[in-house]
């Protein structure tokens, strides 16, 4: 059995430390108030038994709370008082310097929480450690100085989650849609160097990867680019290559027909597209940005975004190459082809590619093959998105999300044209819906009262995020604000005008709808009797966001939070506040957003159809998934799911498995088992290798693929996922 120290280090549970602490407090009181040695032993054993029942590693603070309760349960109130006084004195000492011990454990790589904080960051790497160290300082400043005490307290208690406190001290936003078209067509500046419009497709791809790295280093969330913005440069290369071919033919006195010349040109164009796409794939995977990880980038593939048929045909070639290279994967250190985490791919299902007789059906077949092998692309239904994302002119819009699932709201510029790229999200604060339900005790009237109080808290926390960005000078991130990624502001100009009127969004996250509804109604939200309450909860968040928007002229938007490490934090906080409640708080995780619980048996089509109603009520971001077995030999089934997505739900993905054991070469599914202490670990079912450094595991974490393993809460959630197909 393990415990988590304040520094984040994981150590074995030691009952003698509890007994020693109680004994010290016991020795300071009069004889008549003292506990006996038998009582002290009983206190230690009771705490130990409670920890075992929790089925997870408790923190030192949680264990000390249990000790206090046990001392008082024995009627030794004077001893309890001394114990509490000692805890308080030690907390004052810690507050004098809140970061030293945390930073030292980061450097020595024995901070268990840091190891599992981000499933795409390797905490043993210097650049990651440096980012985490800076993050500790930022968290400390944020909690002590920048945020109101009640918001900090609510965050610590798991009532809300104030995302990315490790970056809040700086004037940084969350995620964005990069205006790659503007930067490539009109030029940009990178590190003080003018970058002009590229004269070939391969150069455009190279510049794009440099832009991606620069953007990633100036924000903390995901970014998206569209392959459509690269498509015009295929024709640039085609014309350039055609000129070269003609010159070569003249030099050898050859006079091939136009048809032959065109075939030669297209062969070379294809070769250049292959090199350009390879540049994007390998640069993204191998680049390390200032936060110590590969850029969290999404690549959007939408045929109908092309401006004309020539561009669409060229875009199709790029998409085909992108899918083929992703199917191949990338080589690990052993030279074995594996699944990379990034770039994330999104493929739009549309009339031109969704039917067998559609002109680009072959691309959809290729996408299905890629999904079965490498877990991407994810799928957006143009049909449903045009229905959901309607702007003020009444026009439907189809565009990419900003990262794992965060969507902008439709926006129309001064000329009445829709604008997607160059826009961004200001940040996220997530409400723990399970805590709202439990705080109400199951009383419906009290539930709505508590819900509104917590929403008001979220509103104030979101305004802290907004006000932190207000007044930010464009000089803080020239690539973003001055050189086209998001805007072309003047030096010394603030970004304030981009924070209002719907140009950017700010997200009210939510988590645990399933557990919230289950506690209040006694049923899963998939039950017809409970579903109306679930939809009412969702609508209420939308209504409140609308009120805030009208008040502040800021686009507040409900967002289905992709909890990663916070799922474990919320679960631990709920257990601490309310105990272990069967079916509600008896897991080391809570359910993401509106999702059906991972253990609930439901088929893929029913799940997607059910969740589509909740996606509509989560305009700030939502994604649904279906868990599937190895589908590489059943692509027809994958295509059936894709067709269903097109007709029924805006944004969805298929979760497959893609693992490799470096010890024995096993390339099936690496298993999750409990070790001797009860801790969940990864083990190769073939050679029983348990060394995470000698295996490659890729799992969908919460909208994107993670490859650096996860905390105990997320690991339990992954282990308990049932198949939907």
Closest CA to 502 of 587, 424, 421, 590: 424
**DSSP H stretches of helix in 56-179:** 60-73, 77-96, 100-107, 112-115, 126-141, 149-156
Cα gap 528→606, rounded to integer Å: 13
Residue 406 designated active-site: yes
| Coil, helix or strand at residue 168 | coil
Neighbours of 714 (CB within 10 A): 25
Cα gap 203→273, rounded to integer Å: 11
Cα gap 307→358, rounded to integer Å: 19
What's the per-residue H, E or C state across 9-29?
A: CEEECCHHHHHHHHHHHHCCC
Burial of 399 per CB tally in 10 Å (0-12, 13-18, 19+): buried
Contact call for residues 205 and 279 (beta carbons, < 8 A): yes
Cα gap 57→156, rounded to integer Å: 18
CB environment 282-313: b (16+ within 10 A), e (fewer): ebbeebbbebbbbbbbbbbbbbebbeeeebbb
Closest CA to 426 of 481, 543, 508: 508
Residue 542 designated active-site: no
Of these residues, 174, 381, 439, 565, which one is catalytic? 174
Q: What are phi and psi of 299, to 5 degrees?
A: -110, 125
Cα gap 165→147, rounded to integer Å: 10
Distance of CA 44 to the CA centre of its chain: 40
Residue 175 designated active-site: yes
Cα gap 300→306, rounded to integer Å: 12
If residue 189 lies in a helix (H) or strand (E), which one and from where to where? Answer: strand 188-190
Phi-psi region of 150 (alpha: psi -120 to 50; beta: other; left: phi over 0): alpha
Closest CA to 224 of 422, 363, 469: 422
Of these residues, 113, 181, 515, 564, which one is catalytic? 564
Of these residues, 218, 425, 474, 542, which one is catalytic? 425
**In degrees, to the nearest 5, what angle opens at C-alpha 94 toward C-alphas 91 and 97?**
150
Of these residues, 221, 276, 427, 703, which one is catalytic? 703
**DSSP H stretches of helix in 379-472:** 382-388, 433-440, 444-469
CA distances from 674 to 56, 483, 677, 689, 715 (A): 11, 51, 8, 14, 11
Of these residues, 176, 385, 402, 516, which one is catalytic? 402
Q: What are phi and psi of 467, to 5 degrees?
A: -70, -25
Burial of 99 per CB tally in 10 Å (0-12, 13-18, 19+): middle
Cis check: omega of the bond before 343, within 30 degrees of 0: yes
Cα gap 44→549, rounded to integer Å: 53
Residue 51 designated active-site: no
Of these residues, 220, 399, 420, 559, which one is catalytic? 559
Residue 174 designated active-site: yes
Burial of 31 per CB tally in 10 Å (0-12, 13-18, 19+): exposed
Contact call for residues 139 and 165 (beta carbons, < 8 A): yes
Of these residues, 175, 541, 661, 684, which one is catalytic? 175
Residue 650 designated active-site: no
The one-character DSSP state at 691 is -
Cα gap 293→426, rounded to integer Å: 21
Cα gap 585→451, rounded to integer Å: 19
Residue 132 designated active-site: no
DSSP secondary structure of 206-237: HHHHHHHHHHHTT-SS-EEEEGGGTTHHHHHH
Closest CA to 157 of 513, 399, 439: 439
Active site residues: 174-175, 402, 404, 406, 425, 559, 564, 703
């Amino acid at each position: 059995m393990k415990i988590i120290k304040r520094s984040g280090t994981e150590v074995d549970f030691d009952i003698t430390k509890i007994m020693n602490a109680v004994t010290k407090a016991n020795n300071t009181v009069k004889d008549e108030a003292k506990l006996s040695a038998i009582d002290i032993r009983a206190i230690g054993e009771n705490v130990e038994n409670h920890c075992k029942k929790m089925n997870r590693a408790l923190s030192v603070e949680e264990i000390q709370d249990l000790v206090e309760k046990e001392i008082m349960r024995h009627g030794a109130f004077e001893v309890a008082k001394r114990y509490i006084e000692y805890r308080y004195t030690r907390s004052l000492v810690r507050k004098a310097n809140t970061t030293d011990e945390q930073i030292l454990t980061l450097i020595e790589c024995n901070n268990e929480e840091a190891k599992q904080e981000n499933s795409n960051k390797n905490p043993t790497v210097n650049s990651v450690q440096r980012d985490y160290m800076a993050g500790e300082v930022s968290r400390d400043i944020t909690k002590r100085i920048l945020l109101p005490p009640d918001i900090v307290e609510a965050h610590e208690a798991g009532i809300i989650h104030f995302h990315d406190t490790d970056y809040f001290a700086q004037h940084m936003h969350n995620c964005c849609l990069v205006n790659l078209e503007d930067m490539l067509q009109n030029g940009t500046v990178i590190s003080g160097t003018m970058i002009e419009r590229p004269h070939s497709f391969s150069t455009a791809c190279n510049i794009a990867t440099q832009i991606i790295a620069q953007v990633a280093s100036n924000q903390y969330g995901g970014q998206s680019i569209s392959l459509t913005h690269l498509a015009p440069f295929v024709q640039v290369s085609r014309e350039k290559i055609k000129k070269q071919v003609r010159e070569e033919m003249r030099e050898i006195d050859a006079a091939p027909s136009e048809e032959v010349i065109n075939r030669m040109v297209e062969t070379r164009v294809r070769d250049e597209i292959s090199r350009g796409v390879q540049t994007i794939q390998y640069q993204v995977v191998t680049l390390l940005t200032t936060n110590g990880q590969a850029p969290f980038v999404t690549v959007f593939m939408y045929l109908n975004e092309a401006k004309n048929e020539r561009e669409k045909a060229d875009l199709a070639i790029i998409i085909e190459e992108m899918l083929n290279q992703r199917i191949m994967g990338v080589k690990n250190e052993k030279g074995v082809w594996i699944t990379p985490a990034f770039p994330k791919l999104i493929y739009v299902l549309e009339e031109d590619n969704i039917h067998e007789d559609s002109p680009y059906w072959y691309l959809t077949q290729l996408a299905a093959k890629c999904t079965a092998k490498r877990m991407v692309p994810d799928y957006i239904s143009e049909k449903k998105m045009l229905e959901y994302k309607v702007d003020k002119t009444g026009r439907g819009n189809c565009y990419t999300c900003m990262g794992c699932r965060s969507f902008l709201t439709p926006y129309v510029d001064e000329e009445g044209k829709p604008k997607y790229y160059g826009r961004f999200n200001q940040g996220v604060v997530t409400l723990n819906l399970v805590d709202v339900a439990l705080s109400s005790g199951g009383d419906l009237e009290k539930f709505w009262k508590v819900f509104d109080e917590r929403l008001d808290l979220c509103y104030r926390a979101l305004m802290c995020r907004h006000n932190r960005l207000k007044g930010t000078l464009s000089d803080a991130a020239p690539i973003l604000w001055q050189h086209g990624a998001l805007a072309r502001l003047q030096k010394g100009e603030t970004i304030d005008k981009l924070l209002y009127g719907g140009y950017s969004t700010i997200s009210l996250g939510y988590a645990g709808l399933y557990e919230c509804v289950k506690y209040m109604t006694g049923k899963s939200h998939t039950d017809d009797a409970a579903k109306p309450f679930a939809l009412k909860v969702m609508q209420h968040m939308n209504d409140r966001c609308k009120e805030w928007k009208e008040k502040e002229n800021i686009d507040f938007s409900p967002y289905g939070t992709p909890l990663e490490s916070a799922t474990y934090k919320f679960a631990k906080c709920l257990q601490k506040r309310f105990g272990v409640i069967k079916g509600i708080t008896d897991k080391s995780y809570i359910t993401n957003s509106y999702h059906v619980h991972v253990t609930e048996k439901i088929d893929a089509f029913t799940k997607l159809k059910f969740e589509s109603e909740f996606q509509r009520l989560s305009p700030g971001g939502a994604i649904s998934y279906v868990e599937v077995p190895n589908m590489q030999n059943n692509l027809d089934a994958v295509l059936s799911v894709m067709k269903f997505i097109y007709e029924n739900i805006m944004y969805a993905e298929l979760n497959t498995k893609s693992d490799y054991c470096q010890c024995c070469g096993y390339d099936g599914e690496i298993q999750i088992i409990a070790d001797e202490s009860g801790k969940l670990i990864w083990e190769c079912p073939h050679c029983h290798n348990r060394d995470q450094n000698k295996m490659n595991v890729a799992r969908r974490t919460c909208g994107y693929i993670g490859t650096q393993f996860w905390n105990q809460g997320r690991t339990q959630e992954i282990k308990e996922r049932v198949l939907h197909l």
